[in-house]
Structure 1
């Protein structure tokens, strides 16, 4: 009888230990499962990123027509709602996987003065909502962008279309405009930076008559295009960094912190007569049917 009791107690102990081990195993399995789900959730959350761009001092022009038949332009603070603004969603939107702001452009009827091309492009506004406050070379300026071409069409010869990705545009003050009898404040762009067949090309302006002074400098026909400059590095469809530094009589363009183009001459010194503003985005350079470009900006900053 004693042996039967001992066997019974031993069986109970073994059963308890077995049940306890099973429970611990299940608990451990649940904990591991919860941990895996939590890690997966964290990975998913990390995938969603936003571009490092403050739009409070930029307006944007798109390929969309406005009510007056011109190119649509959205200024601050409305531009800050680009992610929910039906006017902007097709042309300016987040790629939250890449953490970039995408600018999409194609040939449309929505063009601006003195051009046949359409754009989805930012225009610097030192005072939000005001185009009359700009800067001179003497005051200086700095722009830096991290960007990439996401996609771009090809022409009938199989070559990629061109797109302007950064600019410094000249502007007449109201007094200068009235002095030369011009209808608007438009002046030539002193800097155009192109993405062209996977490389970066820079164009600037040169004065036709080096002895010109004063009022003569204000006329657009006083200036001509230079021959252009090509950086050696091929950026293709990868990320790259562009910097533009402007001081009195000098302009420097830097690609990926290892290639430099310096403009420091009489043309830069005499350009000091104009006011200026930065531009960045997608100024598409084609009217071919079905053509398009998508430009991604990951970062964009401006300083004065």
Structure 2
């Protein structure tokens, strides 16, 4: 065996071992999950029915993983898998495997307002979609049970679209579309809210809406980010669902937040 061949084999072996090492870490080994809680498509008994269970920030930071629904991929990505027939949260149509931001890890009443600057920056890959082909991969959600999601970032038929609510309660969607990204391909996205100006960027293309102009009531809402796999489908076999892998996830806020009322 010549030196060049030996070097190539050693390089391949090192890469293989490196990938294996990355995969053995839980998601918290690659991402700071100390300010997130996780909703799983499982109930407290582990069944895919009933009320969805939550994994708290301390549990995530301690290394929580689930081999089917929330795990580290071979490349170190954080992978979410959600079947269309899983357990659900209260008053929702669809199951989800999704992180919910917690400014205070001990109190989910603490959120942020639409004033100031709030950014979620991510790189992800939609690996699998349900038959309806829709999966929500990021959100800004209102704290109040009656509040609408300000924005749902949705992957649909290979394209990313932002669904922005024109009202803080019971609003209609304003759809912002972006160029195709394709299934099972990495793409970057950013959701930014700055003093009411909501900007969404996908692979360098940016679209914006001023939510204060759409509805001044948005200024009174308290909000939080969500990210993961939230299929917009609730029919099909247990094998049908959405799988989304995140290789980057960063969140920043510029202002002090206070408890929601």
Coarse TM-score class (shorter-chain normalised): 0.7 to 0.9
Secondary structure of 1:242 counterpart: strand
- 1:260 is aligned to 206
Quickly say closer, same or farther: Cα 1:136–1:47, change in 2 above 3 A: same
Q: Does 125-134 or 161-170 show the bigger shift?
A: 125-134
Quickly say closer, same or farther: Cα 1:123–1:225, change in 2 above 3 A: same
| Residue 57, structure 1, aligned to residue 38, structure 2 | no
Which digits, 9 at most, give the CA deviation of each residue in 1:257-301, with x for residues without a partner?
2x1111125125430100000000001111121221100111101
Match of 1:200 among 154, 160, 165: 160
Whole-angstrom CA distance in 1 between matches of 2:4 and 2:136: 52
- 1:152 is aligned to 129
Whole-angstrom CA distance in 1 between matches of 2:82 and 2:18: 29
Whole-angstrom CA distance in 1 between matches of 2:9 and 2:182: 38
Whole-angstrom CA distance in 2 between matches of 1:270 and 1:137: 10
Whole-angstrom CA distance in 2 between matches of 1:37 and 1:249: 54
Whole-angstrom CA distance in 2 between matches of 1:194 and 1:36: 42
Secondary structure of 1:296 counterpart: strand
- 1:131 is aligned to 108
Query: How big is the shift at 1:171?
Result: 1.1
Match of 1:119 among 78, 87, 96: 96
Quickly say closer, same or farther: Cα 1:35–1:128, change in 2 above 3 A: same
- 2:67 is aligned to 89
Secondary structure of 1:56 counterpart: coil
Quickly say closer, same or farther: Cα 1:197–1:38, change in 2 above 3 A: closer
| Residue 246, structure 1, aligned to residue 190, structure 2 | no
Whole-angstrom CA distance in 2 between matches of 1:36 and 1:165: 38
Query: How big is the shift at 1:131?
Result: 0.5
Kindly indicate which of the two structures has a greater share of residues assigned to strand.
2
Whole-angstrom CA distance in 1 between matches of 2:181 and 2:2: 49
Which digits, 9 at most, give the CA deviation of each residue in 1:221-263, with x for residues without a partner?
xx311241211x1101211101011111211001112x11111
Matched-pair contact (CA < 8 Å) for 1:250–1:269 = no
- 2:119 is aligned to 142
Query: How big is the shift at 1:33?
Result: 9.5
Matched-pair contact (CA < 8 Å) for 1:206–1:224 = yes
Matched-pair contact (CA < 8 Å) for 1:147–1:239 = yes
Query: How big is the shift at 1:41?
Result: 3.6
Whole-angstrom CA distance in 2 between matches of 1:32 and 1:146: 35
Q: How high is the TM-score relative to the length of structure 1? A: 0.71
Matched-pair contact (CA < 8 Å) for 1:250–1:268 = no
- 2:231 is aligned to 284
Aligned residue-pair number:
240
- 2:19 is aligned to 47
Matched-pair contact (CA < 8 Å) for 1:165–1:195 = yes
Whole-angstrom CA distance in 1 between matches of 2:2 and 2:157: 55
Unaligned runs of 5+ in 1: 1-28, 156-160, 173-184, 208-216
| Residue 303, structure 1, aligned to residue 252, structure 2 | yes
Specify the structure having the higher radius of gyration (Cα). Answer: 1
- 2:181 is aligned to 235
